[in-house]
Amino acid sequence: MKQRIAGFLFDWLVGAYLAVMLHRIVWHELLLGIEGPTSSGASSAAFIAGIPDWLVYGAVGLALASAASISKVSLALLVQGKLERRMWQRTAALHVASLVLSLTFITGWVVTKISLVDMFSGERLRAAGRIFSSLLQPEFAILPQALSAIVETVYLAFMATVLALPASFVLAFLSARNLMRGNVWTRATYTILRALTNFTRSIEPLVWAVIFTVWVKVGPFPGMLALMVHTISSLAKQYSEQIEDIDPGPMEAIASTGARPLQIVWFGVVPQVFIPFLSFTIYRWDINVRMATVIGLVGGGGIGTMLNQYQMLAQWREEGLIVLVIALVVWAMDYISARIREALA
């Protein structure tokens, strides 16, 4: 029953989506050629004045979902793999699925304003030639400046990783399912911390950087804070997954000697995860260097800020040098971190 309700809701959503796309994109933008969001009035979906658009779309979706559920040509059934064996129903459901897919593609095309003219007209190609030729003739005069900026970036990434370590380490144990099975309190802690780290991790470092530039002003410090927050939640997740993967035997053996909970974790768990933790941490530093170059774009300091300044000035040869320096350093970091991790494994 629960599944059938969920299935009906799914079909309803798909129906409403079809209604919106057909009306807004296909009818308005493609056939009538009206651009941008439509207001009510002549272009409204409501043929009877006064009814809001979303109600009309919802009603159409509901009608389609009902039709689907009566005829059992349901997309939800297709997704769940429980479609009736009848040939025509499967075929019909597949047709609906391909309709949804092609509509989505058409919508995507319209929304991203894809234009071959913008890319390959003579004027545009000349512009492309200009920037590429400048980028390929890097201006070495600013090399010392670029180097000191990238060093700042590498240190920024390093500090973000190191300062995140203790928090990630503690969080990892508190959000490892196999260690937190004990009682209601530990299970609640586990659930809350998991939700919290999942949430923080879903926010990109770039967004954190914007937040911190407002908080502590522009510069490397907010950039470091942004990366640190992201690193804490990312490492905590990787660490805790590693903990959940351990052999429970040694833990059981330590517990059987009458050891205290912290001793069980320190002696039964930590030795098993130490090397993998180290490996994750080094990899994270490597990722952070990469991210730190971008974070500068929103005022997070380092080479990214420099990249941003020369873009404002449209000095593409200087920009070319900066890109070159970034590429070399990121490549070197990648290489070094891979070698260290190999040695650890």
CB 25, CB 107: distance < 8 Å: yes
Dist. CA 197–CA 262, nearest whole Å: 23
Task: Identify which of residues 54 and 274 has a Cβ nearer to other proteins in the complex.
Answer: 274
181 phi and psi angles, rounded to 5 deg? -75, -15
Task: Identify which of residues 223 and 268 has a Cβ nearer to other proteins in the complex.
Answer: 268
Three-class SS state of 213: helix
Task: Identify which of residues 197 and 281 has a Cβ nearer to other proteins in the complex.
Answer: 281
Q: For 49-70, give one letter per residue: b (16+ CB within 10 A) or e.
A: eeeebeebbbebbbebbeebbe
Task: Identify which of residues 58 and 250 has a Cβ nearer to other proteins in the complex.
Answer: 250
Dist. CA 11–CA 76, nearest whole Å: 6
Read off the tokens for 14.
Answer: 């798909």
For the bound state, the minimum distance from the C-beta of residue 338 to other proteins, rounded and expressed in Å, comes to: 23
Task: Identify which of residues 33 and 258 has a Cβ nearer to other proteins in the complex.
Answer: 258
Three-class SS state of 36: coil
Task: Identify which of residues 112 and 257 has a Cβ nearer to other proteins in the complex.
Answer: 257
Dist. CA 90–CA 280, nearest whole Å: 46
Angle at 45 between CA 39 and CA 51, to 5 degrees: 85
Dist. CA 8–CA 3, nearest whole Å: 9
For the bound state, the minimum distance from the C-beta of residue 336 to other proteins, rounded and expressed in Å, comes to: 25
Dist. CA 274–CA 212, nearest whole Å: 32
Task: Identify which of residues 164 and 269 has a Cβ nearer to other proteins in the complex.
Answer: 269
For the bound state, the minimum distance from the C-beta of residue 176 to other proteins, rounded and expressed in Å, comes to: 18
Rg of the chain, C-alpha, whole Å: 28
Dist. CA 93–CA 100, nearest whole Å: 11
Please identify which residue in the block is written with the tokens 């942004």.
Answer: 226
* Residues forming the site for other proteins (CB under 8 A): 249-250, 252-260, 262-263, 266-268, 271-272, 274-275
For the bound state, the minimum distance from the C-beta of residue 186 to other proteins, rounded and expressed in Å, comes to: 14
For the bound state, the minimum distance from the C-beta of residue 262 to other proteins, rounded and expressed in Å, comes to: 5
CB 222, CB 209: distance < 8 Å: yes
Task: Identify which of residues 108 and 166 has a Cβ nearer to other proteins in the complex.
Answer: 166
For the bound state, the minimum distance from the C-beta of residue 248 to other proteins, rounded and expressed in Å, comes to: 9
For the bound state, the minimum distance from the C-beta of residue 174 to other proteins, rounded and expressed in Å, comes to: 17
For the bound state, the minimum distance from the C-beta of residue 132 to other proteins, rounded and expressed in Å, comes to: 53
